[in-house]
Amino acid sequence: MSSASSPEEIININSQEVLISRGQINQRVEELGRQISADYQGRELHLVGVLNGAFIFLADLVRQLSIPCQICFLQASSYKDKKVSSGEVTLMHNLDLSGKDVMVVEDIVDTGLTLKYILEDLQQQKPTSIEICALLSKNIPDKIPVEVKYVGFEIEDRFVVGYGLDYAEKYREVPHIACLD
Ligand code: 5GP
């Protein structure tokens, strides 16, 4: 996966390549909101945001929905200040999703490992349905097969930050998606 550098390294984020602009994100989030609203017409949707990375995407997405929804969060971590996954996923939540239409909202799908863990965990609660919406999906070989029904953008295997995504807890506030490698 993407090359690593030290989290202490000082990076001028404004000189990094903009992969996806704020305008492109806005337009795509609107489209996703319209599509999800049409697909869930007449139902209430329970959105589960994956912390911390999905907080901005989820906040923008729910404001594009025209169906009733409830919002909750779970915490997942596997990167621990690095640019490559540790391979171990830890989940924290106290959700009750039994009998509910659930949508997991994730910032980015890389190997698919995090979503595999999340789906296996949440399926045990016997939701009526469960789908995934991810802002970004990396185009990498040997991805774990997890069906992501709603994808904002397919991207190459680059390490990206901004719009909620961090590197060692930095750059989440950047309004666009920037490349850090
Ligand atoms: P996966 O388990 O699919 O390999 O990784 C998913 C998680 O890893 C995401 O929720 C995100 O936290 C983190 N991640 C994967 N790729 C990137 C990336 O390019 N940039 C950032 N900031 N996080 C990433």
154: domain CATH number is 3.40.50.2020
30-49: pLDDT as tens digits: 999 999 999 999 999 999 99
Residues of the domain holding 139: 13-179
Query: Does the predicted TM-score (pTM) go above 0.85?
Result: yes
Q: How far is the CA of 120 from the centre of ligand 1 (A)?
A: 18
- Closest by Cα among 166, 132, 122 to 152: 132
Question: For residue 3, is it within any domain?
Answer: no
CA of 78 to the centre of ligand 1 (A): 8
Q: Ligand 1 pocket check: which of 165, 172, 173, 180 to mutate, most ligand atoms within 8 Å of Cβ?
A: 165
> How many structural domains comprise the chain?
1
Question: In the chain, what percentage of residues exceed pLDDT 90?
Answer: 81
Is 110 known to be catalytic?
Answer: yes
Sheet of 177-179: strands edge to edge? 18-20, 177-179, 160-161
Active-site residue (options: 110, 121, 157, 181): 110
Residue 130 lies in a domain: yes
Pocket flag, ligand 1, residue 178 (CB < 6 Å): no
